[in-house]
Amino acid sequence: HCEVKTEHPTCSRQHAAFVQDEVIGLCLVDLGTQNGTFVDSAKIAPFTAVPITKDSVVSFAHSTRQYAVNLSFDGEERQKSEMYARITTESAAPDGARGSAESTEHTAF
Protein backbone atom coordinates (compact mmCIF):
# COMPACT_ATOMS: atom_id res chain seq x y z
CA HIS A 1 0.00 0.00 0.00
CA CYS A 2 1.37 3.41 -0.96
CA GLU A 3 -0.11 6.84 -0.29
CA VAL A 4 1.26 10.17 -1.46
CA LYS A 5 -0.22 13.24 0.20
CA THR A 6 0.06 16.16 -2.16
CA GLU A 7 -1.73 18.73 0.00
CA HIS A 8 -2.17 20.97 -3.03
CA PRO A 9 -5.52 22.76 -3.49
CA THR A 10 -5.88 21.58 -7.11
CA CYS A 11 -5.42 17.89 -6.21
CA SER A 12 -8.35 15.64 -5.42
CA ARG A 13 -8.50 13.67 -2.17
CA GLN A 14 -8.19 10.47 -4.19
CA HIS A 15 -6.39 11.69 -7.26
CA ALA A 16 -4.59 8.72 -8.80
CA ALA A 17 -3.66 5.12 -8.08
CA PHE A 18 -0.61 2.99 -8.75
CA VAL A 19 -1.73 -0.39 -10.06
CA GLN A 20 0.35 -3.53 -10.57
CA ASP A 21 -0.65 -5.22 -13.85
CA GLU A 22 0.38 -8.87 -14.31
CA VAL A 23 1.50 -8.29 -17.89
CA ILE A 24 2.88 -4.76 -18.13
CA GLY A 25 3.87 -4.13 -14.52
CA LEU A 26 3.46 -0.93 -12.55
CA CYS A 27 0.93 1.55 -13.96
CA LEU A 28 -0.58 4.86 -12.89
CA VAL A 29 -4.30 5.57 -13.27
CA ASP A 30 -5.93 9.01 -12.99
CA LEU A 31 -9.15 8.56 -11.00
CA GLY A 32 -11.24 10.92 -13.13
CA THR A 33 -9.86 14.12 -11.67
CA GLN A 34 -10.71 17.61 -12.84
CA ASN A 35 -7.10 18.83 -13.04
CA GLY A 36 -5.36 15.72 -14.33
CA THR A 37 -2.38 13.51 -13.67
CA PHE A 38 0.85 13.73 -15.65
CA VAL A 39 3.52 11.18 -16.54
CA ASP A 40 6.68 12.66 -18.04
CA SER A 41 4.82 15.97 -18.53
CA ALA A 42 2.05 14.32 -20.61
CA LYS A 43 -1.49 14.40 -19.26
CA ILE A 44 -2.88 10.88 -18.98
CA ALA A 45 -6.44 9.93 -19.87
CA PRO A 46 -8.78 9.29 -16.92
CA PHE A 47 -9.22 5.66 -15.87
CA THR A 48 -6.50 4.47 -18.27
CA ALA A 49 -3.53 2.48 -16.97
CA VAL A 50 -0.30 4.13 -18.09
CA PRO A 51 2.95 2.15 -17.67
CA ILE A 52 5.45 3.61 -15.23
CA THR A 53 9.13 3.06 -15.93
CA LYS A 54 12.12 3.36 -13.64
CA ASP A 55 12.73 6.84 -15.08
CA SER A 56 9.16 8.17 -15.01
CA VAL A 57 8.37 11.55 -13.49
CA VAL A 58 4.85 11.95 -12.11
CA SER A 59 2.95 15.12 -11.19
CA PHE A 60 -0.59 15.87 -10.07
CA ALA A 61 -2.95 18.69 -11.12
CA HIS A 62 -1.37 22.16 -11.04
CA SER A 63 1.20 21.31 -8.39
CA THR A 64 4.77 22.08 -9.46
CA ARG A 65 6.07 19.24 -7.29
CA GLN A 66 7.31 16.29 -9.34
CA TYR A 67 7.79 12.73 -8.13
CA ALA A 68 10.61 10.65 -9.61
CA VAL A 69 9.86 6.94 -9.76
CA ASN A 70 12.66 4.77 -8.43
CA LEU A 71 12.00 1.12 -9.24
CA SER A 72 14.32 -1.78 -8.78
CA PHE A 73 13.65 -5.43 -9.42
CA ASP A 74 15.38 -8.71 -10.03
CA GLY A 75 14.80 -12.32 -10.94
CA GLU A 76 11.26 -13.08 -12.13
CA GLU A 77 10.31 -9.39 -12.51
CA ARG A 78 13.28 -8.79 -14.83
CA GLN A 79 12.36 -11.85 -16.90
CA LYS A 80 8.77 -10.57 -17.29
CA SER A 81 10.10 -7.20 -18.41
CA GLU A 82 12.44 -8.74 -20.97
CA MET A 83 9.66 -11.03 -22.26
CA TYR A 84 7.31 -8.04 -22.63
CA ALA A 85 10.01 -6.15 -24.53
CA ARG A 86 10.53 -9.07 -26.94
CA ILE A 87 6.80 -9.51 -27.53
CA THR A 88 6.33 -5.78 -28.13
CA THR A 89 9.30 -5.65 -30.52
CA GLU A 90 8.29 -8.72 -32.50
CA SER A 91 4.65 -7.68 -32.88
CA ALA A 92 5.68 -4.20 -34.05
CA ALA A 93 8.13 -5.45 -36.71
CA PRO A 94 6.85 -5.03 -40.30
CA ASP A 95 6.13 -8.07 -42.52
CA GLY A 96 7.24 -10.69 -40.02
CA ALA A 97 10.71 -9.21 -39.52
CA ARG A 98 12.00 -9.74 -36.02
CA GLY A 99 13.41 -6.86 -34.05
CA SER A 100 15.82 -6.81 -31.17
CA ALA A 101 14.74 -5.89 -27.64
CA GLU A 102 18.05 -4.12 -27.22
CA SER A 103 17.40 -1.80 -30.17
CA THR A 104 13.83 -0.91 -29.20
CA GLU A 105 12.66 1.38 -26.43
CA HIS A 106 10.66 -0.63 -23.95
CA THR A 107 9.17 -0.25 -20.57
CA ALA A 108 11.00 -1.93 -17.70
CA PHE A 109 8.91 -2.85 -14.69
Q: Between residues 91 and 34, which one has the greater pLDDT?
A: 34
The rounded distance, in Å, linking the Cα atoms of 21 and 30 is 15
Predicted confidence at residue 37, as pLDDT, reads 96
Per-residue model confidence as pLDDT tens digits over 35-56: 999 999 999 999 999 999 888 9
| Banded pLDDT at 77 (limits 50, 70, 90) | low
The rounded distance, in Å, linking the Cα atoms of 100 and 93 is 10
Angstrom distances, CA of residue 78 to CA of 26, 65, 84, 102: 13, 30, 10, 14
Average pLDDT over residues 50-74: 85
The model scores a pTM over 0.75: no
Which stretch of 68-72, 84-88, 89-93 has the lowest confidence by average pLDDT?
89-93
Predicted confidence at residue 92, as pLDDT, reads 46
37, 49 in Cβ contact below 8 A?
Answer: no
